[in-house]
Structure 1
Amino acid sequence: MAMRWFGRQAPRDVGNAPPRAVGEVKAMPVPVAAVPPEVKASAAGRVAAAAQGAGRALWGGRDTGGLTRSGFLGNPVGFRAVKLIAEAAAAVPLVCQDAERRYEVHPVLDLMRRPNPAQGRAELFEALFGQVLLTGNGYLEAVDVTDAGLPGELHVLRSDRVSVVPGADGWPVAYEYAVGGRKHRFDMTGSPDPICHIRSFHPSDDHYGMSPMQAAQVAVEVHNSASAWSRALLDNAARPSGAIIYKGSDGQGVLSPEQYDRLVSEMEGHHQGARNAGRPMLLEGGLDWKPMGFSPSDMEFHQTKLAAAREIAMAFGVPPMLIGIPGEATYANYAEAHRAFYRLTVLPLATRVAAGVGWWLSEHLGCEIDLRPDLDQIPALAEERDQHWQRVGAAGFLTEAEKRAALGLPPLASSDPAGG
């Protein structure tokens, strides 16, 4: 019986190549297969690959490290938004099914339950979702293929260390993982693929996805700048900058060197820094203080910072009230915002990633399986799910098989009389 391939094409003949060096990452062996028949490819893909340089690693203009440091490590709004989405999506239960049945016990479910010795399912998917949210790309590596064809372990690779190597047809022929001055290449010309690449939509990049952090970059910079200015203002005893103007008795505004040195010394020693907050300044004859900066109220400082925080939350699809940002009451209450958060942000991300991982594992398994979120086990959607079940159950014009299909359930066995 001919083998069914779930990848882009049947594997090419890679010869009896020696095992590859592992380096910092584990690599699965590339299977040996016969030369496949000619496979159709996109003509536009070949043109794009020629323009970008086929066979060379494409790093692109992605400053993922800078965005991660400024928008996640150094910004509380971006940090909370990413953590909220990644943790919620990683906690969504998954179901494994095919065209005939839903499995309670399956090798894929066992692999998901313990993907590697250091992580469980929640930790692995939280890292994967976090990489997708921060960089627009998520990479899963398959390690140590078992007798069943499935990987023995799954590992999430850091997106900022991975580069795509496109082929003549525009499809990736390899992925390069660089760390510590060393590179390891994952060959993608065989089947099954050692790397699963999950990427977000990017309108101007053929190989890498676009992250919400890129869309929120300006808002992140405004928010960070406002926080830095606030700290500098507090360090300066919460007073804006200004100038001391001297007008002598003769009308000449010039200080002698001794007067200037004394004035600077007194300012630095007695009137700068938070420890000197509130200390009165004694200005001798001819000296006058003129503020030259704007006060926080003049700059509408608080509103500017809140507006930037709302833009960051909007880019990630998180209702502002869920992360404590005051402002317009877009949702009537917290429960409504929570349901919208799951419906519009968490579930689309979890569904897309689960589908990509399921298709990739189908290639390893040799038969098609489907991974999808189990909507019946999400507490935030329990009320909507109950209403949906009642409507479908009360529809007398539907058969039992049609009701199961409407609820997203696989059909029952033909021998079961409840199958309709």
Structure 2
Amino acid sequence: MKLPFTGRHTVSDASDAPETKSGTSAQTPLVAVELSRQACFTNPDFGSLCREGFARNPIVYRCVRMIAEGSASVPLRGEGLPAESSEALERFYSYLQVAGCAYLEAVLLGDEVIGLRAVRPDTVTPLTDAAGRPAGFEVRSESGRRLFRRDPLTDRCGVMALALFNPMDEAAGQSPLRAAATSVDLHNQGTRWAKALLDNSARPSGALVYKGGAGERLSRDQIDRLKVELEAGFTGPARVGRPMVLEGGLDWKTMGLSPSDMDFTQGRREAARDIALAFGVPPMLLGIPGDNTYSNYAEANRAFWRQTVIPLVGRTARAMSAWLSTFGEEVTLSPDLDAVSALAPERTALWARLNAASFIDADERRALAGLAPRETVQ
């Protein structure tokens, strides 16, 4: 990431300036330094994304938490779901957003699934047979490795995998965090740049100019000593406003920030909006200013649930239904949208329309509302 210097003090010897026609040296208060460096970005591996994204970026952290907590809070209707699986599902959804793939391990008592456990994606290796078909998973841990083979007859396996679409690798998947990695780097570097600026008295760098006589110049030891004294006595928020006593022909010249340097705040906001876009979270819900896409907070919240949370929960419910059905009786899971408070106004309006429809009976109304038919009393 190519960023300007922040808070660095440059000691400039004016005796090195070219002589004018009158024979006197031209006083040059500023020294321009340009670094030719390649932009550096975070590696797309799981560990780097966790450190630079989830652990160090507040936008990523909040997006992952909102999606995981919201998705895990949606109850799943149907028989066969192990009890106390909400915590495992929250971790499952979090891994899915960070890594692009997530795994659930079945806790078995005989052939019965009594619990679920989310497995770290970086500890799982998919296995394939000689024909390249999925054959199971290898899970590594400190105690060793465990193999979960897929039964070719029943398709039963102790681990379920769910991956977000990746055109280059369907098994590995691609996470929203990986798509937003460049924006995460921009946002993090902007934060570090602002922090470095504040640590250096919230001022840009300056130049200490030596105005000695003709042919005079500072020695290397004197330059090094001046740098040490500047760092020790005038750097940091606790030393803001200290007067500087100069002697021996020294003069301090402050460097101003250019408009492009001052624009880092807007750049961080745009990077934050890109991160939120990749995760499917309306920027308004994250407190990012300047977003007028939604007329109010409630509308943005409903869009978040409808476009991000509910589709994710529905896809997970279908995958879990197919997986749990291999352990015994058929399992059919579906999200209980009536329990989602954010969608309550929509559900109320739907019920009002169905009650007003006199051309359908009660069971048809229940089916359109996503409810099971009434039990017939014999």
1:156 maps to 2:138: no
CA contact (8 A) 1:296 1:302 kept: no
CA contact (8 A) 1:150 1:361 kept: no
- Tell me the amino acid that sits aligned with residue 60 of structure 2: G
Cα distance in structure 1, aligned partners of 2:339 and 2:225: 73
CA contact (8 A) 1:235 1:273 kept: yes
Correspondence 1:206-221 to 2 at 5 A: 206-221=170-185
- List alignment gaps of at least 5 residues for structure 1: 1-60, 97-105, 115-120
CA contact (8 A) 1:401 1:412 kept: yes
Cα distance in structure 2, aligned partners of 1:189 and 1:293: 69
Cα distance in structure 1, aligned partners of 2:305 and 2:267: 28
- Tell me the amino acid that sits aligned with residue 303 of structure 1: Q
**Cα offset for 1:327?**
1.5
- Tell me the amino acid that sits aligned with residue 341 of structure 1: F
Structure 2 residue matching 1:365: 3-state secondary structure? coil
Cα RMSD of the aligned pairs, angstroms, is: 2.3
Correspondence 1:59-98 to 2 at 5 A: 63-96=45-78
**Cα offset for 1:128?**
0.8
Distance 1:76 1:296, change over 3 A: farther
Structure 1 residue matching 2:262: 3-state secondary structure? coil
**Cα offset for 1:292?**
5.4
Partner of 1:100: none
Partner of 2:242: 279
Partner of 2:138: 176
Residue-by-residue CA offset, 1:286-321 (whole Å, 9 max, x unaligned): 434345573687431211111111111111111112
Residue-by-residue CA offset, 1:131-160 (whole Å, 9 max, x unaligned): 1111111111112244xx431332111111
Structure 2 residue matching 1:336: 3-state secondary structure? helix
Distance 1:181 1:376, change over 3 A: closer
**Cα offset for 1:361?**
0.8
Distance 1:62 1:277, change over 3 A: closer
Cα distance in structure 2, aligned partners of 1:370 and 1:360: 10
Structure 2 residue matching 1:131: 3-state secondary structure? helix
Cα distance in structure 2, aligned partners of 1:228 and 1:298: 14
Residue-by-residue CA offset, 1:66-92 (whole Å, 9 max, x unaligned): 101111011111111111111111111
Residue-by-residue CA offset, 1:135-187 (whole Å, 9 max, x unaligned): 111111112244xx431332111111111122233332121112338322211
2:100 is matched with which residue: 136, 147, 150?
136
CA contact (8 A) 1:139 1:158 kept: yes
Cα distance in structure 1, aligned partners of 2:216 and 2:295: 62
Cα distance in structure 2, aligned partners of 1:398 and 1:170: 51
**Cα offset for 1:374?**
0.7
Partner of 1:269: 232
Cα distance in structure 1, aligned partners of 2:100 and 2:64: 12
CA contact (8 A) 2:53 2:60 kept: yes
Distance 1:142 1:265, change over 3 A: closer
1:308 maps to 2:308: no
1:124 is matched with which residue: 79, 85, 88?
88
- Tell me the amino acid that sits aligned with residue 136 of structure 1: G
**Cα offset for 1:259?**
3.9
- Tell me the amino acid that sits aligned with residue 237 of structure 1: S
CA contact (8 A) 2:136 2:157 kept: no
1:354 maps to 2:317: yes
CA contact (8 A) 2:59 2:272 kept: yes
CA contact (8 A) 2:208 2:251 kept: yes
**Cα offset for 1:237?**
1.4
Cα distance in structure 2, aligned partners of 1:303 and 1:394: 51
CA contact (8 A) 2:44 2:178 kept: no
TM-score under structure 2 normalisation? 0.81
Partner of 2:37: none
Distance 1:265 1:315, change over 3 A: closer
Distance 1:362 1:273, change over 3 A: same
Cα distance in structure 2, aligned partners of 1:293 and 1:175: 58
Correspondence 1:3-402 to 2 at 5 A: 63-96=45-78, 106=79, 108-109=80-81, 111=82, 113-114=83-84, 121-146=85-110, 149-180=111-142, 182-190=144-152, 191=154, 192-250=156-214, 252=215, 254-257=217-220, 259-284=222-247, 286-291=249-254, 294=257, 298-367=261-330, 369-402=331-364
Cα distance in structure 1, aligned partners of 2:209 and 2:197: 22
Cα distance in structure 2, aligned partners of 1:294 and 1:64: 37
Structure 2 residue matching 1:351: 3-state secondary structure? helix
Structure 1 residue matching 2:145: 3-state secondary structure? strand
Structure 2 residue matching 1:152: 3-state secondary structure? strand
**Cα offset for 1:372?**
1.1
CA contact (8 A) 2:136 2:148 kept: yes
Cα distance in structure 1, aligned partners of 2:100 and 2:315: 13
State the identity as a percent: 45
**Cα offset for 1:359?**
1.5
Residue-by-residue CA offset, 1:306-347 (whole Å, 9 max, x unaligned): 111111111111111212211122211111111111111111
CA contact (8 A) 2:127 2:137 kept: yes
Deviates more, 1:87-96 or 1:168-177: 168-177
Residue-by-residue CA offset, 1:22-41 (whole Å, 9 max, x unaligned): xxxxxxxxxxxxxxxxxxxx
Distance 1:342 1:214, change over 3 A: same
- List alignment gaps of at least 5 residues for structure 2: 1-42
TM-score under structure 1 normalisation? 0.74
